[in-house]
Structure 1
Amino acid sequence: MILSSPDPAADPHVAAALLRLQRTSYAREAVLVGDERISPLLEDEIGLTAWRGRWLMAWDGVQLVGAIAWWETDDAVEIHRVMVSTSAMRRGIASTLLSRVLASASGRPVAAATGRANQPAVALYAKHGFRAESDEQIPPGIWITRFRHAA
């Protein structure tokens, strides 16, 4: 596995690969939560490349198999999305990506959220020391759990 931090807005190949990965990864979450109104499933390439946070991507040769996106401020880090190719699950890719972000947080608290019924993601966050803080509906009918990793 090779890790890199390309800017999807600067490379159309990366943007297209990332959008494919996002759609397949979040289609799986939609099945788990029982609703297809998950915002990453509705996003197009323009919306994806307009997002200006940081990215870390995992590659198996030339195939994109995982990615994590996050925001950073002086006081906190917020994970925006984590995705792994369905063909590459159970290989530790999400854990590797999440561990890298946690290591770069430099003592700042890290926030994340996932569908409440997405048990693989809930277990991933728990494994890495995140604690559930709250549940809310966004949009109505889709429950998410918000997590925090203390500094």
Structure 2
Amino acid sequence: MIIREVSPYDDPLGGELLALQRAAYAVEAELIGDDRIPPLHESLDELRAQRLRWMAATSDDAGSGRVAGAVAWEEGDGEVDINRLVVHPSAARRGIGRALVQEVLARAGGRRVVVATGRDNVPARRLYEGLGFTLLGESEVIPELWIVNYAYHPH
């Protein structure tokens, strides 16, 4: 697996990231029983308009050089916010999401790292908890759509 910084402005990579995001969030929508996840419905222009940094993982399992997973985050002075973590359904449960989150943690430079996921997204919750994230709480972001918030505090 190769992990590298990428840009959604690069063609055809932007379209590939959008397709990956839709495939991954379709799985989460199924897990949580709700398809109102905003990134699931983004256009390429909307994805590109987000002020996010991106890393992608390529894996032979996803096809020659194709993106198997990606993570996007925002950085502040005291905090890094993982905005989205997406793994292609055909590459799920192979450590790609874990490797991407670990790379963000390594780049955080001692800052707190936060992330949110669907309350009923058990695989994502296990991933974050297994990496040492602490549950901060849950919130209803729109009627009947619940998320949980996590934070990682470096040691």
Q: The TM-score by the shorter chain falls in which range?
A: over 0.9
- Work out whether 1:4 is the aligned partner of 2:7: no
Q: List, as ranges, runs of 4+ consecutive aligned residues in structure 1 with deviation greater than 3 Å.
A: none
For residue 17 of structure 1, what is the aligned residue in structure 2? Answer: 16
For residue 27 of structure 1, what is the aligned residue in structure 2? Answer: 26
For residue 65 of structure 2, what is the aligned residue in structure 1? Answer: 62
The TM-score normalised by the length of structure 1 is: 0.96
- For 2:94, what is the secondary structure of its paired residue? coil
Identity among equivalent pairs (%): 43
Ranges in structure 1 where 5+ consecutive residues have no aligned partner: none
Task: Note the C-alpha offset of 1:12.
Answer: 2.2
Q: Distance in 1 between matches of 2:149 and 2:66?
A: 31
- For 1:5, what is the secondary structure of its paired residue? strand
Task: Note the C-alpha offset of 1:7.
Answer: 1.0
What amino acid is the match of 2:16?
Answer: A
Task: Note the C-alpha offset of 1:6.
Answer: 1.5
Q: Distance in 2 between matches of 1:3 and 1:111?
A: 21
Task: Note the C-alpha offset of 1:99.
Answer: 0.4
The TM-score normalised by the length of structure 2 is: 0.94
Q: Distance in 2 between matches of 1:62 and 1:46?
A: 24
**Paired residues, what number?**
150
Task: Note the C-alpha offset of 1:62.
Answer: 2.3
Task: Note the C-alpha offset of 1:142.
Answer: 0.7
What amino acid is the match of 2:116?
Answer: A
- Work out whether 1:143 is the aligned partner of 2:146: yes
For residue 43 of structure 2, what is the aligned residue in structure 1? Answer: 44
- Work out whether 1:112 is the aligned partner of 2:118: no
The C-alpha deviation readout for 1:47-71, integer Å capped at 9, x for no partner, is: 0111121111011232111000001
- Work out whether 1:130 is the aligned partner of 2:133: yes
The C-alpha deviation readout for 1:120-148, integer Å capped at 9, x for no partner, is: 00000000100110111111111100001
Q: Distance in 2 between matches of 1:129 and 1:3?
A: 21
Ranges in structure 2 where 5+ consecutive residues have no aligned partner: none
